[in-house]
Amino acid sequence: MNELVYYQDQYQKELESKVLKIEEKRILLDKTIFIPASNTEPGDVGKINKVKIVGSKKEEDGVWHILERQIPLNVGDIVKLELDWNKRLLAMRLHSALHLLAGPFDKNFNQRAVAGAIRGKTAHLVFKEKVADEIIDQAIEQANQDIENGLAIKSYWDEKREGFRWTQVGDYPAIPDGGLHIKNTTEIGKIVLASKDLDQGRQKVEVTFDMENPFVK
């Protein structure tokens, strides 16, 4: 398994790493700053030795990186990783916005989200049943107040369940989590409702950023 540096420092943008395995355009490294895509997260992109990576995939032996073209490499070579920081930061802000927004829904209105995902420049929560419009509005209002106030965002590994990770925003309940976050809600920026839809009775609440009033510190 490779060392997952992105869990140690989610703000690290560059890294030197050793090649462990090569399969045409795919390479396995001894450590990486690129988090792979999942069903709910976009995953990182960037460059390895100035060649773009088009994605990463987690397998049994670690995170494999997929290059846009094959390059001359040998096992044991040292390569340089460069993260597409703008894409990473956007994903972290959206991910943290979802975890934060889930807090007021759960704590203030007893409405617990059952799923969440990031799609482009938006992110959404899913609830088992319809949520009243006024609750959605109040939860977003509270989340924006929390963003301005500045709540700490902390991720940590479960002490008993190996490989199980949690993220907690302020004093809101911790949520199981495998993604990356910024460290404080002030880095999120003001969020606004993008859409609210019902799909087979399940409420979907989608948010994005207010670009006119980002107040990112």
Give the pLDDT confidence score for residue 195 in this predicted structure: 96
Cα separation of 189 and 205, whole Å? 18
**Which domains can be identified in the chain, with CATH numbers?**
3-83 (2.40.30.130), 87-209 (3.30.980.10)
**pLDDT in tens for each of the 217 residues of the chain?**
899 999 999 999 999 999 999 999 999 999 999 999 988 889 999 999 999 999 899 999 999 999 999 999 999 999 999 999 999 999 999 999 999 999 999 999 999 999 999 999 999 999 999 999 999 999 999 999 999 999 999 999 999 998 899 999 999 999 999 999 999 999 999 999 999 999 999 999 999 998 665 555 4
- Which residues on neighbouring strands pair with residue 14, listed in sequence order? 82
Nearest of 119, 140, 125 to residue 193 by alpha carbon: 140
Q: H or E element: which one contains 145?
A: helix 133-149
Global confidence as pTM: 0.93
Q: Residue 213 has what pLDDT?
A: 59
* DSSP secondary structure letters along 100-133: HHHHHHHHHH-----EEEEETTEEEEEESS---H
Q: What is the pLDDT of residue 212?
A: 60
Per the listing, tokens 């995939």 go with 57
CA distances to 18, 61, 154, 180 from 3, rounded to whole Å, are 11, 11, 20, 16
DSSP 8-state secondary structure symbol assigned to residue 70: -
Amino acid of residue 48: I
Asked if 52 and 45 count as a contact pair (C-beta separation under 8 A), the reply is: yes
